[in-house]
Amino acid sequence: MSRDPGVGAAGRGPTRSRRALHPVPRGRTAAAPPAEPTGRPRRPHRSPPRPPSRAGETPRRPWWTRCWKQVARFREQLRRQEGGAAETQMRQEIERLTERLEEKEREMQQLLSQPQHEREKEVVLLRRSMAEGERARAASDVLCRSLANETHQLRRTLTATAHMCQHLAKCLDERQHAHRNVGERSPDQSEHTGGHTSVQSVIEKLQEENRLLKQKVTHVEDLNAKWQRYDASRDEYVRGLHAQLRGLQTPHEPELMRKEISRLNRQLEEKINDCAEVKQELAASRTARDAALERVQMLEQQILAYKDDFMSERADRERAQSRIQELEERVSSLLHQVSWRQDSQEPDACRIHAGSKAAKYLATDALELMVPGGWRPGTGAQQLEPPAEGGHPGMAQRGQGDLQCPHCLECFSDEQGGLSNGALRLCITLGGPPPPLQSRMSALRNCIAVALSSVRKLKHTYSIHLFL
């Protein structure tokens, strides 16, 4: 049986294929092989049986064993890279976050110890740094998600490749068994010419399978090269993103500071305006309060004045009431006196005849000597009569039994006995004539009218004050 040149090429160049499949990228160090995950049990490696070596040839391992070992090595390298890179990345991220947290705590302590304006500046800077950190974290999250998806896809591809390699190893084992069986039966081929055709067909099948396996190995190498190119491009993309972030941060820092300063200045102006408005409102409220206090004091004074007026009016009213009562008592007493005098006119008339006629004549003579003209008592009114022609005033005519007062020269008839005696006594006591009865009655009526008018005025004034 002739050897396949492709198989020999694959068998002669194991080191070259290893280098082409997975070159180690620059800047990375090979980490220790991590422990194999316990989720999937590792299958024991079964090396296929070696074919019998020819005489004069050095024994070499078959190419499928080398492929299997290469796949296992690729798997270990991938696990090592994934585990080591993820672990180191997580540790670096944890350390970076811890350092940032410590820095933030120190900055917070500094802010608490700084004045208000410096605190505001630090708060602005912290907000800006937080926004930048959030953007960087979002970019890293996107990259991590993409890397996780790609890792998952590569794991599935590697799993499929491993299954395929196992299947190929089984097929190769079966073919080796078939080759051994064919080698054992080769001495008997001369006897069994009918089995030659079957052996040729088996060889053709093996060659076809060998060609397919080579194609699959080439496909795996292409996938490995693509993965390496993608890893390099991803690292370059991440470095470019970091460079862009640094480029975006540095040139816009002064502009952001100016914007922040202008915003803080506007806020300060607004606060100052608000303080001015509040001061004006406070001054207005103070003036209003002072005015209200003055008004309250004025009202209190008015209330005190009204109270004093009310007390004085009350006292005036009490005095007026007492005065009214006094006037009413006086009026009633005067009315009683008037009625008593009117009632006492008739009983006193009989006393006129008690006097002697000599006294009457003496009184009348004295009156005639004192008065040039004579008084004639009428019906209560005095009348001055002219003297008679060529006669003496004392010769004036008067009735028989009339009495004449020597002071007022009023004549009283006999019917006015009691009244004439009282009038004479009053005239002698006072040294002048007493007022006539009608004049006394009119004076009494006038006094009563004045008292009633004063009472009405007092009542009207008191009602006006109560209304006010």
3-state secondary structure the chain: CCCCHHHHHHHHCHHHHHHHHCCCCCCCCCCCCCCCCCCCCCCCCCCCCCCCCCCCCCCCCCHHHHHHHHHHHHHHHHHHHHHHHHHHHHHHHHHHHHHHHHHHHHHHHHHHHCCHHHHHHHHHHHHHHHHHHHHHHHHHHHHHHHHHHHHHHHHHHHHHHHHHHHHHHHHHHHHHHHHHHHHHHHHHCCCCHHHHHHHHHHHHHHHHHHHHHHHHHHHHHHHHHHHHHHHHHHHHHHHHHHHHHHHHHCCCHHHHHHHHHHHHHHHHHHHHHHHHHHHHHHHHHHHHHHHHHHHHHHHHHHHHHHHHHHHHHHHHHHHHHHHHHHHHHHHHHHHHHHHHHHHCHHHHHHHHHHCCHHHHHHHHHHHHHHCCCEECCCCCCCCEECCCCCCCHHHCCCCCCCEECCCCCCEECHHHHHHHHHHHHHHHHHCCCCCCHHHHHHHHHHHHHHHHHHHHHHHHHHHHHHHC
Taking only the tens place, the pLDDT of each residue in 60-89 is 556 667 777 777 777 777 777 777 777 777
Provide the pLDDT confidence category of residue 250 given band limits of 50, 70 and 90: low
pLDDT over 80 (residue 464): no
**Which pLDDT score, from 0 to 100, does residue 168 have?**
77
- The number of beta carbons lying within 10 Å of the beta carbon of residue 300 is 10
pLDDT over 50 (residue 282): yes
Cβ-contact 345, 418 below 8 angstroms:
yes
- The number of beta carbons lying within 10 Å of the beta carbon of residue 376 is 19
Least confident of 189-193, 445-449, 460-464: 189-193
Distance CA(21)–CA(222), nearest Å, equals 8
Give 311's strand partners. Answer: none
Taking only the tens place, the pLDDT of each residue in 306-315 is 888 888 888 8
Distance CA(157)–CA(315), nearest Å, equals 121
Taking only the tens place, the pLDDT of each residue in 148-180 is 787 778 778 878 877 877 787 788 788 777 777
- What average pLDDT does the segment 5-10 reach? 40
- What average pLDDT does the segment 439-467 reach? 68
**Which pLDDT score, from 0 to 100, does residue 426 have?**
52
Provide the pLDDT confidence category of residue 41 given band limits of 50, 70 and 90: very low
Q: What is the mean pLDDT of the chain?
A: 67
